A = this chain, B = another copy of it.
Amino acid sequence: MHPCQTCPLRRHDLFMPFSAEELSFMMKFRSGEVRLAPGEVLFHEGDESAYFYTALEGQGVRVKHLLNGERQVVNLIFPGDVVGLQASLAGGASSTAIASSPMVLCRFEKRRLHELYCSSPDRAYALTWIAAVEEHFLGETIATLGQRDATQRVAWALLKIYNRLSAVGLAQEAGDVPLPLRQRDLADAMGLSLVHTNKTLARLRPLARWENGRLWISDAEALAEIAMTDCALPPDRPLL
Any B CB within 8 A of the CB of A70: yes
* Complex contact B64–A132 (CB within 8 A): no
* Complex contact B128–A89 (CB within 8 A): yes
Bound: A235/B70 CA distance, A: 10
Any B CB within 8 A of the CB of A12: no
Any B CB within 8 A of the CB of A140: yes
Bound: A95/B95 CA distance, A: 25
Q: A114-B121, A132-B90 are in contact. Are A74 and B143 (CB under 8 A)?
A: yes
* Complex contact A66–B147 (CB within 8 A): yes
* Complex contact B66–A143 (CB within 8 A): yes
**Chain B proximity of A208: nearest CB distance (Å):** 20
CB neighbours (8 Å) of A96 from chain B are 234
For the side of the interface on A, what is the size category?
35 or more
* Complex contact B14–A136 (CB within 8 A): no
- Which A residues from 51 to 102 make CB contacts under 8 A with B? 64-72, 74-75, 85-86, 88-92, 94-96
Q: A74-B143, A95-B139, A132-B131 are in contact. Are A230 and B90 (CB under 8 A)?
A: no
Any B CB within 8 A of the CB of A232: yes
Any B CB within 8 A of the CB of A237: yes
CB neighbours (8 Å) of A146 from chain B are 72, 145, 188-191
Any B CB within 8 A of the CB of A134: yes
Any B CB within 8 A of the CB of A3: no
Any B CB within 8 A of the CB of A231: yes
* Complex contact A90–B14 (CB within 8 A): yes
Any B CB within 8 A of the CB of A7: no
* Complex contact A133–B90 (CB within 8 A): yes
* Complex contact A232–B46 (CB within 8 A): yes
CB neighbours (8 Å) of A143 from chain B are 64, 66, 72, 74
9 tightest CB-CB pairs across the interface, nearest first?
Answer: A146-B191, A46-B232, A131-B131, A89-B132, A145-B145, A72-B143, A117-B121, A138-B138, A86-B132
Known: A65-B235, A131-B131. 8 other contacts (CB 8 A): A72-B146, A89-B128, A114-B121, A117-B117, A117-B121, A118-B121, A128-B128, A131-B135
Contacts A/B (CB < 8 Å), 12 sampled? A45-B230, A65-B230, A69-B235, A74-B142, A86-B139, A113-B125, A114-B121, A117-B125, A124-B124, A124-B125, A146-B189, A146-B191
